[in-house]
Amino acid sequence: MAEHNNAATAAPRQVRWYNLVAYGSNDILGGGSMAIVGTWVLIFYTSFCGLSAAQATLIFGVARVLDAITSPLIGHLSDNLGRTALARRFGRRRFFILAAIPLLPSFALMWVSGQSFWYYLATYVLFEMVYAMEIIPYETLASEMATDYRTKAKLAGARIVCGQLSAAGAAFLPGWLVSKLGPDSPDTYLYMGIIFAGLFMAAAGLLYAFSWERQRPAELDAEEDQDRPTLGAAFVALYRSLFSTLRIRAFRLHLGMYLGGYISQDIYNAAFTYFVIYALAGSTGIVAELVGVTYLVQLVAVLLAINFALRLSPAATYRAAALSFGASVLLFLSMYAAGFGATSALFWAPVLLAGLGRGALNYIPWATYNYMADVDEIVTGRRREGAFAGVMTFIRKMSQAAAVMLVGLVMDGAGFVPKAHTQSQEAIHAIVGVLGVGVITMLIIGVLVSTRFKLTPATHGILLDEIERFRGGERTPSDPEHARIVEDLSGWRYDQLWGNNPVLNKRQRP
């Protein structure tokens, strides 16, 4: 039975197993679409559409930049719908999810072969806009539906597990379609796009039916009704939100870990297909098999990471994952240097290491993200889940655009030839160099940042205790150690917390 949003709900709802499934299933769109795009879109553009590597990555980059601008705006608007008629009827977050459902078939339009550069640019940008419209409100729902550390960790785990399953499907499905349609048929990608567009719509429908938003104090809704932003004000708030969220120390460190883990995977995804096909003399089918197994191992890694993050710390789990992923890349490069081909059984060793590392690197940032609004609340006295979701996506998309465009420019500069069955040694060396240097550099950055990240189940519990003290009117810490922990997480002195700081303007403070 559908669980409709009800702002008048008196008591917090319990997150049941079906809520976890519905919440997690939406990462078929989040993780699944990004896995498809990351693995296949560049090879589709260069092998079946006649685009150069630079043109293909330019499409990717332009769409990401436009999406990066749109995402914070959507987050800001979802924070500020207040008690409008739309918010009362559909929820201020969930309204966007419902509105995106009939637009999700736009994903299939990306995979029509034989079109112009401008067609592929327009269809990719369209899907990115729809994706942002759905995924930004989705990213706020874990904080809306739960307050305690363990439940939020379960929601993050459900999301990543479903994302890894869909990513595995995104890898294996083209291989199966190739076996039916032949290696030279562009319809492989079109059918894949149609199938996944249907799955995206079903997942978004489940999310809307079995999610909710927390009850909000009436005075907050009244404030937002009086101060509802115009479109121009929303764009101004976009940049204000960007800089204000970066004044939260835990969020800055979180972003460093997030970008280190995810950009390393962006570079890997962009270069790996070319690495297997051209450097190892492999095929699309072999790529599908290697990537599919990697995603299945990532699923196991997520389950392990959930337990390690709860028992130890997210930062320690992150470092172990980075070590595993980095070792896998070094093994791939060593085997290439030794002359092994893509069919060698030895390649399953780095595939397993890559899956173990990537699964945990995917999970940890999204697990820790769910607590950023709590750290922000003790600094500002406000709940700004939408702002953090928008800003996080803004920074992620901008950096992802730069990373993938750099891969394309390096390949183009080295003489990569579209639709060619073989490439020059210079082009192959460029692919190998991007894969090795790019991935390892980003992992090192993420590991260095993680050594300063101190959010754990224990410190989060202390943070929530101190928030309750502020809500009750207390302005002194219950314990000197508690003050030190809260100051480390927030980056502000204890006497500057709860709005006694310039993070928000005066009208926004409690």
Domain membership flag for residue 62: yes
Task: Decide if 223 is inside a domain.
Answer: no
Q: What is the CA radius of gyration of the chain?
A: 23
Residues 367 and 410 in one domain: yes
Ramachandran angles phi, psi of 296, nearest 5°: -65, -40
CA–CA separation, 475 and 487 (whole Å)? 14
Residue with tokens 């639709």: 419
- On whether residue 374 sits in a domain, the answer given is yes
Question: What amino acid is encoded at 99 in this protein?
Answer: A
Res 248 pLDDT > 70: yes
Phi, psi of 340 (to 5 degrees): -75, 145
Buried b (16+ CB within 10 A) or exposed e, 279-290: bbebbbebbbbb
- Is a pLDDT exceeding 80 seen at residue 87? no
Question: Is residue 477 one of the residues assigned to a domain?
Answer: yes
| pLDDT score, position 4 | 42
Question: What integer pLDDT is reported at residue 307 of this predicted model?
Answer: 83
- The verdict on 413 and 474 lying in the same domain is no
User: What is the tens place of the pLDDT at every residue in 316-357?
Assistant: 999 999 999 999 999 999 999 998 887 778 888 999 999 999
Q: Give the separation between CA 493 and CA 361, rounded to whole angstroms.
A: 31
For 401, the domain range is 17-215+235-455
The rounded distance, in Å, linking the Cα atoms of 164 and 359 is: 8
The predicted pLDDT at position 507 comes to 54
User: Taking the mean position of all CA atoms in its chain, how far away is CA 23?
Assistant: 15
User: What confidence category does residue 2 fall into, taking pLDDT thresholds of 50, 70 and 90?
Assistant: very low
Q: How far apart are CA 373 and CA 388, in angstroms?
A: 7
Q: Are residues 257 and 156 in the same domain?
A: yes
* Mean pLDDT value across the chain: 84
pLDDT at 506 over 70: no
The rounded Cα 219 to chain-centroid distance in angstroms is 33
Rounded CA-CA distance 258/260 in Å is: 6
Tokens linked to 308: 């390690």
Question: How far is 280 from 283, CA to CA, in rounded Å?
Answer: 9
Q: Where are the alpha helices (DSSP H) in 312-384?
A: 314-337, 348-369, 372-380
pLDDT tier, 96 (very low <50, low <70, confident <90, very high otherwise)? confident
| SS3 of the chain: helix, strand, coil, percent, to 5 | 75, 0, 25
Whether residue 472 contacts residue 233, with contact meaning beta carbons closer than 8 Å, is answered with no
CA 252, CA 258: separation in Å to the nearest integer? Answer: 10
pLDDT band of 6, cuts 50, 70, 90? very low
Q: Is residue 2 part of a domain?
A: no
In 3D, which of 281, 407, 305 has the Cα closest to residue 355?
305
Residues 134 and 59 in one domain: yes
DSSP per-residue codes, 36-63: HIIIIIHHHHHHHS---HHHHHHHHHHH
User: Are 368 and 475 in the same domain?
Assistant: no
110-141 tens-digit pLDDT: 999 989 999 999 999 999 889 988 988 888 78
Residue with tokens 């072969």: 113
Same domain membership, residue 441 and residue 469: no
Lowest mean pLDDT: which of 87-101, 253-267, 385-399, 435-449?
385-399
Residue 144 covered by a domain: yes
**pLDDT at 289 (0 to 100):** 86
Cα–Cα distance for residue pair 440/265, rounded to 1 Å: 10
**pLDDT for res 8:** 40
Q: Are residues 383 and 472 in the same domain?
A: no
Selection from 381, 408, 386 nearest residue 496 by Cα: 381
What pLDDT band is residue 492 in, cutting at 50, 70 and 90? very high
Alpha-carbon distances, residue 412 vs 52, 106, 427 (angstroms) = 7, 29, 8
| Within-domain flag for 56 | yes
Distance CA 150, CA 431 (A): 42
CB 45 within 8 A of CB 197: no
pLDDT at 60: 82
Terminal-to-terminal C-alpha distance of the chain:
38
Q: Give the pair of three-digit tokens for residue 125.
A: 């940008």
Specify whether 361 is located in the same domain as 263: yes
Name residue, tokens 């980059």: 61
Read off the pLDDT band of 441 (50, 70, 90): very high
pLDDT, residue 212, reads: 84
Kind and range of the H or E run holding 389: helix 385-413
The candidate with the shortest Cα–Cα distance to 82, out of 213, 220, 230, is 220
**pLDDT average, residue stretch 19-32:** 88
- The alpha carbon of 92 is separated from its chain's Cα centroid by a whole number of angstroms, namely 21
366 plus 493 within the same structural domain: no
Are residues 318 and 385 part of one domain?
yes
Assess if residue 363 is contained within a domain. yes
Q: Which tokens sit at 509?
A: 């403070």
pLDDT score at 184: 73
Which position has the higher pLDDT, 224 or 171?
A: 171
Residue 251 sits in a domain of what CATH number? 1.20.1250.20
d(CA 268, CA 97): 30
**Separation CA 494–CA 487 (nearest Å):** 6
**pLDDT per position as a tens digit, 160-197:** 888 878 878 877 887 788 777 776 788 888 998 999 99
* Residue 11, φ and ψ in degrees, nearest 5: -125, 150
Co-location of 259 and 150 in the same domain: yes
User: pLDDT (tens digit, 9 = 90+) per residue, 453-475?
Assistant: 999 989 999 999 999 999 999 99
Q: Which residue has the higher pLDDT, 356 or 216?
A: 356
What does the alpha-carbon distance between residue 465 and residue 494 come to, in Å, rounded to a whole number? 14
Higher pLDDT, 325 or 83: 325
Between 106 and 284, the more confident residue is: 106
Within 414-502, where are the H helices? Answer: 425-433, 439-450, 457-471, 480-490
pLDDT band, very low/low/confident/very high, at 237 (cuts 50, 70, 90): low
Higher per-residue confidence, 320 vs 1: 320
Can you list the alpha helix ranges (DSSP code H) found in 182-248? 187-209, 218-226, 231-245
CB 321 within 8 A of CB 357: yes
Q: How many structural domains does the chain have?
A: 2
For the ranges 19-23, 279-283, 355-359, 506-510, the one whose mean pLDDT is highest:
355-359
Give the model's pLDDT for residue 7: 39
Same domain? 414 vs 484: no
Burial grade of 3 (CB within 10 A; 0-12, 13-18, 19 or more) = middle
